[in-house]
Structures are given as C-alpha cells and as structure tokens.
Structure 1
Amino acid sequence: MDEKALAICRRAFATQMLEKEGITNDPPLWNAFSTVPRERFLGAPPWKMARWDGYLDISADDPSVLYQDALFALQHERQVNNGSPSLHARGLHRLQLRTGETVCHIGAGSGYYTAMMALLVGPAGRVIAVEFDEALAARAAGNLKDYGNVEVVNANGLEWPKEPVDAVYVSFAVHRPADPWIDRLKIGGRLIFPLGVPDVDGTGQPTGLSSYAGFFLIVRKDQGYDATFLGPVVFVWGEAVVGTLDSYRALEGAFRNGGMRGIHALRWKTRPREGEWYTQEDWGLE
C-alpha cells in the first residue's frame, strides 16, 4: 500500500476509533489518530497481535493491517503491547490536552501515543515521555526524534514529573497513584491512570498484567480533587510498583463490590472519611 492509500486508511481508522467511543466532536484528536503512522512505532514486520490466549503472528507485511482496534506487541515475552487504540482515544479525549500545555506521559513505550500528545499540545506545548525500560526508551527516542516538543527520559515513572504540569497520562497499572502524579498537578491539571491489583496465574505467580483494574480521571481543583471512573481496563503492571498484600486485597474487594461509577472525589493525604469506596490511611476514593 502506498503512502496515499495509507493516509486514507489512517483517516478511516481515526473515524472508527472515535466513533467506537462515542466521541463526536474532537477534531484535534481525530487529526492525531489520522496523522501519526502506527507502523513507525511498531517496527518492521513480522508483527504479533495480542489475544487473550497469547499472540497471533501476522503474515502480512502491509502496514494497513495495523489500523484496527487491536494490540500489537512491543515486547511479547513481557506482554508489553502498543495499547488499544479505542481505549487511548477515550483517555486522550478525557485528558483534554490544549495547545501550549505540558503533559508527562508515564510509561511511554515506543512513543505512539506520545506522538499524538505532541500534536495535541502543539509546538508551543511540551511532552515529557518517561519510560522505565531502557530498550523501549531508546526506541521511543528514535521514533520521536522529529517531534521537537518531546523529551524522552529513561527513568522510573513513579518519580515523575519533576515539575508542575498540566496533565499526567499513565500507561501501566498501579495500586495507588504515585505522589508526583498528584502533587505536581497544576490547579486545573488532569491525571489519567489505571488503578488495580496485580494478576496472578493458577500457581500464584504474577502474570505481569493487572486484574480488577479501572481507568480513573483525577482533576485538581482549588480545593481538593475530583475523581471519575472511566471504565474497566487491563494494563501491564508497573515494573517498579510494589504494594502490600493487604492493600491489594482491599482494592480487589472494592472492585468486587462495584459502585465505581459513583466515585466523585479523591482524598489525598488527609484523614479517612466515612463511607469511602476505597480507603487507605493517606488516600481514598469517595
């Protein structure tokens, strides 16, 4: 498929991903999905498509096969994938990035969705892309070299951002938001992250993925933080994330009990309040 035909394919892909999430009026996001070449960020064929029972080897070497709502492997042996396009369309739409803003992408992988953020904030904006895995960070740096407003950092995403930002977008699952994700949000700043517990197999060994997880939007207000549940998700579990068995069990119990759509506020570093959906000593969801 030549570049002209691929451009048509990308535009159809953009329309389908936004329509699937009910997004009817977000031209900048449609432009990002229709512009960024996914094949650049997945590397040369053969590609591996993720399925619930493992990976399917794709025999085709035509990049048009990549423009569907499917996960493709970045590091299949670790189950690290280029995430679901429709899910990230939902997340980026709700993140509401604006021209000139600074956003920190935690867990940037090879940089596909980072590139979209770069387009959304424009040349006057800035994207800090943090990736823990050295090989993936190097790939992202190469893939994003033409995006002058992106800085790629090989570091522990639990320690970033290092400065106040307008938005934080996290692409791995955790059992609690890292302190900098909350503390370094500007007033009006937005955080989207996957909250959950680590998955285990039949022998009790970690699978590397999340279980009982949801996408959450946090918005910092003049006083306090709004919180919204955006839907269930499955993400790779953060490599540097370490929690306690008690906190995992408590969070799993909250998900099992339901009621996530009633969540409206984050309690952060204050005393627990009665009736919270999920409670820990230093934070909770109401």
Structure 2
Amino acid sequence: MTSPEDLLANLAEEVAPSSWRDAFRRVPRHHFVPDRIWIGDGDDETAIERADAPDAWLRACYADQPVITQIDDGRSSGRGYRSSSASMPSVVAMMLVATDLSPGQRVLEIGTGTGWNAALLADRAGHGNVTSVEIDPTIAAQADRALEGRGVRVILGDGEEGYPPDAPYDRVLATAAVQRVPYPWVEQTVPGGRIVTPWGTSFHNGTLLRLRVDADGTSASGRFGGNAGFMWVRGQRTPHGSLDERVRPDHEFTASVTDLHPYEPVGDFDASFAIGLRVPGVKDLLVFDDDVPGNPRYTVYLMDPGSGSWASWRIRPGPHDYSVRQHGPRHLFDELASAYTWWQEVGRPEHSRFGVTITREGQRVWLDEPGNGLTAAEPGAAQSGDRSG
C-alpha cells in the first residue's frame, strides 16, 4: 500500500505555495476524509469505500482533485446531487493565500466540511483562533471529531448568519459559493479585515471574490479573480430539477432562428461570467445528440426555475441558422443574446475587471470602478441576430 507520508509530502510540494507548505505537511488530508467518497464527474463518477479499496481511497485523498463526501444532503433516497465535498487542494491553497492570514488573527470559516481547511487555518492562526460554522449536523459532528485537539470551534448553524459570539474576526473565509454576500459577514469583520469567498451566478459558478471591509466597518468592496467553482451555500442554491421536469412537450413556445453560436457566450469563462451578471436566475445545460460528448449536433437549454421559462438553442453543422424556441414570461435566449452584445460593446472585459460592493442595503456589482454599477438586462431585449421563424 502507498505510504500516506509520501503522498502527503508530494501533495504539499506540488500544490502548496512556500508560505503554506509546512502547514500542508502538518495536516494530513486523509485524517479528515470520510470512509465513503465519490470521485469523477457524470457517468464517470465512482464511489470508493475505504474498507473495500484502501489504496484507491488513500490515493484519492491526496490527488489534486475534489472529493465528494456527501450526496443529497445525506438522505438515503435522492437523485444523486452532490451536496458536500473536500475541495481540490490547489484551490484550497489559492484561497488560503488570498486570506493573507497572519498568526494570532481570528478567523471565521463558513462551511466546515471535512475540517481539513479549518485545520490548515488553525495551523497558521493558532489554537483557539478559528471558528467554523457548518449547517449539516452529521458533517459538523464528523469534522468536530477529526479536529479534536487542533483548537477549532465547530458551530452547528447557518453560515450566512456568521457567528456573532466570537466576533469580530480579522478574516472570513467561505468554502461554499454565494450569489449574494451576506451582510453579517461584513458586520462581524474588523475594519480593514478581509472576506474571501467563491462567488457565482446560476449561469456561472464561479470565481473567487476578495473583499476588504472599509474603515468604518459598514461596507466591503473587492474584485473577482480566479477560477473557483464550489457548491452553493444551502440558502442560495438554484433549485434542483431535471430537464424533463422543466421542458415539457405540452409547453407552448415561440420559434426563431439566430446566427449566434454558443461557443463564446456559453463556453468562454469571461463571457459567461459577464452574461451571468445580466441574466439572473438562468441555468444552462448542454445535451449532445445520442449522449455522445463532442457530437457536433447538440442543444443548449436555458432554464429559469423561478419563472418556469426556458429556451432551447439547437446547434448542428452547416449554415449558421440555429433554431431557437422560447417558453414562459422571460425570453431567455433574447436576454442572453442581449447580454452577450453588451459584453462585446464594453470591450469584452475579463472577469477580473468586475467587482462588488456590499452594504446594509445589498450588493452592487460594478465594472472597473465602484461608481460604474451594473443592472440586469431588460427581459426580452431583442438581439439583431435573431429572426422570427
């Protein structure tokens, strides 16, 4: 069997920056990973039981990949939605660097998960300086056991509310993505303190947001940067649902054709990030013909669970006359096309040119400067590339 010490040393050397390498060596990841895990994506997802395949389980613990640790919020019956994980170690390292954490600083972690990230934080901040909030009772109990002796306080609760009894904090670090930064995180952070969280939209999950709390302690501002796709905090998930449930044969629709191809508006990181800012609540799903990845014939579905609206965008080889169908009060393809045109017109900005300001009144996303705020695209806005069919 492979030595866990060798795997730990290799992981620390490969993914941890020099400033965090010793901490990675002192905190073995496999001490925190549960005995039953899942790795891979989609049809390639594989369940691994430690008792049945100890070497495969150990190697999974030390691979630079996310490890799924819970399905369907722990329910025995469900559809197989991923609900908790041990994050990809290189992304963990990126987020730890972003916190700019010093010994003695107090940290609030949102989402304890396995406890590995909290243990790394405690190794740097010191015994008694890390409070970690976990919403799932089973996960919280497992993490609390794994963290015994490391000086981390594990709290069962809703991380969106923070944890006022241990406030104020010098740093807040979330290990689950948000679409809206909760204001309690700002309230519970010292002036000048940092908040680091994965951030995304229903259309784009996500990037890393680095915020600094202003000198008066009442607001926070910062920019996006880096690829950091995470599961959502439970209170901000886009509702689950299958394609068959959302796109039904009896739905009426309008039909048109377009010359717009999804390669950039759906597939490009920066374009899809900007579009997600302008088309709230919209999920996309790509379905290849015959379920063959890479098939040049496929359909892109756009769906808004809130309004029941959907659009289908049919792609096939040949002339760029792609058929579009739209159902519901929102014309989702028109909104996407309008948002894509806007992104082009403002100079095709990279996601790192966007930022956000959080105040008691809410969240405001901006481009380049805080005064240049964005608004959502007008629902149903027309796009010159669309033609009624």
TM-score normalised by structure 2 residue count: 0.58
1:133 equivalent to 2:136? Answer yes
Shift of 1:265: 5.8
CA RMSD between the two structures: 3.1
Aligned residue type for 1:153 = I
The alpha-carbon distance between structure 1 residues 47 and 238, as it changes in their structure 2 partners (threshold 3 A), is closer
Paired residues of 2:106 and 2:129 also in contact (CA < 8 A):
yes
Residue-pair matches, total: 255
Contact 1:198-1:237 at 8 Å conserved across structures: no
Larger radius of gyration: 2
Identical amino acids, percent of aligned pairs: 23
Amino acid at match of 1:176: R
Aligned to 2:233: 238
AA in 1 matched with 2:32: F
Larger deviation: 113-122 or 76-85? Answer: 76-85
| Cα distance in 1 for residues equivalent to 2:149 and 2:21 | 20
Relative to structure 2, which stretch is displaced further, 223-232 or 8-17?
223-232
Q: Does 1:144 align with 2:147?
A: yes
Q: Report the Cα distance in structure 2 between the residues aligned to 1:220 and 1:107, rounded to whole angstroms.
A: 21
Work out the CA distance in 2 between the residues paired with 1:218 and 1:251: 24
CA-CA distance at 1:94 after TM superposition: 1.0
Look up the match of 1:72. 67
CA offsets per residue over residues 123-175 of structure 1, 9 Å max, x none? 3x51111000111011111111121x210011001111312101111111221
Taking the aligned partners of 1:98 and 1:117, their CA distance within structure 2 comes to: 10
Is contact 1:172-1:237 (8 Å) kept? yes
Contact 2:131 2:152 in 1 (8 A): yes
Q: Tell whether 2:223 aligns with 1:189.
A: no
Tell me by how many angstroms 1:262 deviates.
1.5
Cα deviation code 1:1-42 (max 9, x no counterpart): 47xx42232122111113xxxx4x41xx11122221211211
Alpha-carbon distance between aligned partners in 2 of 1:227 and 1:53, rounded to the nearest angstrom: 38
Instruction: Letter of the 2:66 partner, please give it.
Output: L
> Residue by residue, what CA displacement relative to the aligned partner does 1:49-108 show, whole Å, maximum 9, x if unpaired?
132545223474122442111111210344121111111110001101111111011011
Q: Which structure 2 segments of 5+ residues have no match?
A: 72-79, 240-275, 283-335, 344-348, 365-369, 377-389
Decide whether the 8 Å contact of 1:250 with 1:278 is kept in 2: no
Q: Is it true that 1:15 corresponds to 2:4 in the alignment? A: no
Match of 2:25 among 34, 43, 53: 34
1:43 aligns with 34
Q: Structure 1 residue aligned with 2:351, among 260, 272, 278? A: 260
Distance 2:124 2:168 in 1: 19
Q: Distance in 2 between matches of 1:92 and 1:105?
A: 11
> Secondary structure in 2 aligned to 1:216?
strand
The residue that corresponds to 1:202 in the other structure is none
* Cross-structure match for 1:206: none
Name stretches of at least 5 consecutive residues in structure 1 with no aligned partner. Answer: 200-210, 280-286
- Please tell me whether residue 175 in structure 1 is matched to residue 179 in structure 2: yes
Given that residues 259 and 277 in structure 1 are in contact (C-alpha distance below 8 angstroms), is that contact kept between their aligned partners in structure 2? no
SS of corresponding position for 1:93? helix
Cα distance change on mapping 1:172 and 1:16 into 2, 3 Å:
same
Provide the TM-score with structure 1 as the length reference.
Answer: 0.78
Q: Distance in 1 between matches of 2:339 and 2:145?
A: 39
